[in-house]
Chains A and B, each alone.
Chain A
Amino acid sequence: MTTTPLEPALFASLDPPRLAGSRCADCGTVTFPAATSCPRCTGQQVLAHVLPDRGTVWSWTVQRFCPKPPYLPPDGGFRPFAVGYVDLGEVLVEARLVAEPEQLSIGAPVRLVLEPAVGVDGAPAVGHAFAPVAEGA
């Protein structure tokens, strides 16, 4: 699998995959993607912060129809995919979920993975996604 990220600024590292957020030095609020000022206290002392790579499904749905452009469908065309918000404790992150609908429920444990994606230029890339993990794994 290629390891060109769809958007480099979203990642603190690719191997192992970790997401890059930010943390307010004044009030501790964590944001994703990384922000340049704090949405809670408006402070501008904001530091880089690596997000946890495990969390639980906060909510989810299945994208059943092909979105309008600028969505880029994969080779072979659009296929329905799952999307959700993952609760990482300090922040919720929206991401595609690499799972069948039957595997998904609110509270299900998931971990960060890289998923093949179509780059904005059409070239192969990877994006952030979450996949189910067995309890205790």
Chain B
Amino acid sequence: MRADDVAVVGGGLHAFGRHEGRTGLDMAEVAVRAALDDAGVRWADVDLAVGGSNVSGKPDSLVARLGLTGLPFTTVRNGCATGGVALATAVSALQSRRAELVVVLGFDAHERGAFAADPAAYGLGEWYASSGLMVTTQYFAMRTRRYQHEHGVSDLALARIASRAFRNGAAHPTAWRRTPWTEEEVLASAPVNDPLTTYMFCQPSQGAVALVLARGDRAADLCPRPVRLASVTQRTRRFGSFEVFSPGLAPDPWHSPSVDAAAAAFAEAGVAPADVQVAQVQDTDSGSELVHLAETGLCAHGAQEQLLADGATDVDGVLPVNTDGGCLANGEPVGASGLRQVHEVVRQLQGRAAGAQVPGGPRVGFTHVYGAPGISACAVLTADAP
């Protein structure tokens, strides 16, 4: 660890799922206090905070509960990239020495069922929603089907992704859906948007995550196994990407912001995708993980079929993916989801995963989120040898 590195020195998480009667702010408070305890510091020691929530309240109002210390508190609202942008904001504050000890937090508490969409908020006419085209699950299904067609990937591969997520979730104490559905059960569940079935989709849920960050020169004093944030990147879409809520698209629309964000994250960290030993890849549905595994560079297009058949993405495989069950088993509280990924990878690199631990002491981790309207955020995390 170099003095000017930025490291995660503590983490806390409020269990994901449905928690009736508890607000997003309630859950965020639990997560922040757990993260402070984990780092062995007090709220009064924190000199900058960054918080994100998409729909569940004002993150900076948490100071009323945690203590009115007067610290600067930046609020981030960037859809699925909220966690990544919060992290990037915290990293630059530490690198520019505007802060010594930073708390990053994210939370959300969504209603049940698919996200409802407002066409005007996306610059679309009312006709788009009233005629039944403004449905996110349709997009994921059409992207998946086209990807399967172009790269020769089977429906069984989609089922293997979901089944592995639920297997990992079943072993994880803070995951939401913990029934280890088999591949047959996933395939036999009711179709939602063909080729995707009910158990191939995640659900909106509730949860909160907080992390404590410090520079490398202080990290070792605060944490026996600090984890370096080697890079944090965010990108928006370029012309020719295939995004949700698109009444029209450019021909051959595969230029995803995930490709740009991941390539930048690896380049900035000086790490190759092949070096990754534990990964979190956005899996709002099985098809999304399928596509993102290749878009991030973790495997070649079409190689997923064999990797999944070989168990390579299992916890004890060569490329463990979504070891806490990902969005499929945790649901997606949008503001918390990206930080959940980072929290899980930090624990894996520290050798103290709450669920199934990747064997062999992994030292390089990667996280990826993707969302509307064509944004992606990625991070590379590394740990020194013990």
Contact = CB atoms under 8 A, between A and B. Distances in A.
B247 A32 contact: yes
B193 interface: yes
Interface in B287-315: none
Given A62-B193, A63-B138, A96 B247 contact: no
A67 interface: yes
Contact of A6 (B130, B143, B145, B249): B130
A95 B249 CA distance: 12
Contact of A85 (B127, B130, B142, B194): B142
B135 A87 contact: no
B247 A101 contact: no
Given A67-B135, A83-B138, A92 B249 contact: yes
B250 interface: yes
Interface stretch (B4-12, B111-119, B174-182): B111-119
A84 B249 CA distance: 12
Contacts of B193: 61-64
Interface size class of A (residues with CB under 8 A): 35 or more
A70 B130 contact: yes
B72 interface: no
Contacts of B247: 32-33, 93-94
A61 B129 CA distance: 17
Interface string A74-92: 0000000101110101111
Contacts of A31: 248
B366 to A, nearest CB: 28
Given A65-B192, A101-B194, A120 B133 contact: no
Interface string A18-50: 000100000001011100000110000000000
A29 to B, nearest CB: 7
A94 to B, nearest CB: 5
Contacts of B142: 59-61, 83-85
B108 to A, nearest CB: 18
Contacts of B250: 29, 39-40, 91-92
A92 B113 contact: no
Contacts of B146: 58-59, 85, 106
Given A106-B146, A120-B126, A120-B127, A89 B251 contact: yes
B191 to A, nearest CB: 5
B359 to A, nearest CB: 39
Nearest to B118: A70
Interface size class of B (residues with CB under 8 A): 35 or more
A91 B248 contact: yes
A100 B215 CA distance: 59
B116 to A, nearest CB: 4
B246 interface: yes
A95 B131 CA distance: 9
Given A90-B251, A92-B250, A93-B248, A59 B145 contact: yes
Contact of A92 (B117, B133, B196, B253): B253
Interface in A104-129: 106, 117-120, 127
Contact of A87 (B113, B149, B240, B251): B251
A94 B190 CA distance: 25
B130 A120 contact: yes
Contacts of B129: 67, 70-71
Contact of A83 (B118, B130, B132, B195): B132
Contacts of B131: 6, 71-72, 96, 117-118, 127
Contacts of B127: 6-7, 10, 120, 127
A100 to B, nearest CB: 12
30 contacts: A6-B130, A7-B126, A32-B248, A33-B125, A39-B250, A59-B149, A61-B194, A61-B196, A62-B193, A63-B132, A63-B135, A63-B138, A63-B193, A64-B193, A64-B194, A67-B129, A70-B119, A70-B126, A70-B129, A72-B130, A83-B132, A83-B133, A84-B142, A87-B251, A90-B251, A91-B250, A92-B251, A94-B133, A96-B132, A117-B130
Given A68-B116, A91-B251, 9 more contacts: A59-B145, A60-B145, A64-B192, A67-B135, A70-B119, A85-B142, A85-B146, A92-B251, A94-B248
Interface of A: 6-7, 9-10, 21, 29, 31-33, 39-40, 58-65, 67-72, 81, 83-85, 87, 89-96, 101, 106, 117-120, 127
Interface of B: 113-114, 116-119, 125-127, 129-135, 138, 141-143, 145-146, 149, 190-196, 239-240, 246-251, 253
Task: Give me the 3 closest cross-chain CB pairs, A-B, nearest first.
Answer: A32-B248, A61-B141, A7-B127
